[in-house]
Amino acid sequence: QLQLQESGPGLVKPSETLSLTCTVSGGSISISAYWWGWTRQSPEKGLEWIGIIRYNGDTYYKASLESRVTISVDTSRNQFSLKLNSVTAADTAVYYCARFKQVAASSLLDYWGLGTLVTVSS
Amino acid sequence: EIVLTQSPGTLSLSPGERATLSCRASQSVSRNYLAWHQQKHGQAPRLLIYGASNKATGIPDRFSGSGSGTDFTLTISRLEPEDFAVYYCQQYGTSPYTFGQGTKLEIK
């Protein structure tokens, strides 16, 4: 059974970089039919799609976050990662990693991780 | 970006009753790429419906989705105790993918 597990610091200081890793088990991250990505949830903004990556490094990001976001993939470890720099309190959220299935002209979020809370505070 | 508005915000029903949840888009959803996700407290969200009306793997028959263009509906024909949760619609036809604010389905 597919499992996605987020890991990383739960507390990040303002202006620093938020770094999270998602470890995928029960399936390979290198299958071309799937993308892997991040979504976050906060009381203020609700659910917000951040971006996706495929095993070959192709990426798509939400335009409003693109200047601060990097998603990378490590196929040897079956992991992918999120970096969000210059964080503020507005970046406090539960961050979910997820699998996205390639469909015609898009990708469908079909499997979620459990999520991890990241708080931005000094 | 496409704004999704869900109604009602909270729906209070009893087990065995029928639930109808609405999702309205600010512009037409391309290819009717509209999904519904269920979120229970302390659990990972899960995909219920994709392409407006297709059930994801393992989803019971009491769940159904309908609609096209800008108006979509999730129907639960007879509520089971485990169905009380928060439901989100999501469009994946146009980047950035966006979500509705959610409908909380609570026990009356």
Task: Report the candidate in B40, B39, B64 with the shortest Cα–Cα distance to residue B50.
Answer: B64
Residue B22 is given by DSSP the state E
And the tokens for B28? 């037409």
C-alpha to C-alpha distance for A45 and A40, rounded to whole angstroms = 9
Residues of A with Cβ-Cβ distance to B53 under 8 angstroms? none
Q: What is the pLDDT along chain A (122 residues), one digit of tens a residue?
A: 999 999 999 999 999 999 999 999 999 999 999 999 999 999 999 999 999 999 999 999 999 999 999 999 999 999 999 999 999 999 999 999 999 999 998 999 999 999 999 999 99
Chain B residue whose CA is closest to A105: B93
pLDDT category at B42 given cuts 50, 70, 90 is: confident
Exposure b/e, B8-39, CB count within 10 A at least 16 = b = eeebebeeeeebebbbbbeeebebbbbbbbbb
Please tell me which of the candidates B35, B44, B100 has its beta carbon nearest to residue A108.
B35
- pLDDT value for A63: 96
**pLDDT, average across residues B45-64:** 97
- pLDDT value for B73: 98
- pLDDT value for B59: 98
Chain B residue whose CA is closest to A97: B44
And the tokens for B99? 């979500």
Can you tell me whether residue B59 is helix, strand or coil? coil
Residue B38: C-alpha distances to residues A1, A58, A116, B102 (Å): 19, 29, 18, 9
Task: Report the candidate in A56, A9, A11, A16 with the shortest Cα–Cα distance to residue A35.
Answer: A56
Q: What is the pLDDT of residues B11-25, one digit of tens each?
A: 999 999 999 999 999
And the tokens for A73? 């993939």
Residue B81 is given by DSSP the state G
Contact status of B90 with chain A (Cβ, < 8 Å): yes
- pLDDT value for B37: 98
Mean per-residue pLDDT of chain B: 97
Out of A71-75, A103-107, B1-5, B78-82, which region has the weakest mean confidence (pLDDT)? A103-107
pLDDT category at B29 given cuts 50, 70, 90 is: very high
Contact A6, A79 (CB under 8 A): no
Residues of A with Cβ-Cβ distance to B96 under 8 angstroms? 49, 62-64
Q: Is the pLDDT of residue B90 over 90?
A: yes
Residue type, A52: I
Residues of A with Cβ-Cβ distance to B30 under 8 angstroms? 105-106
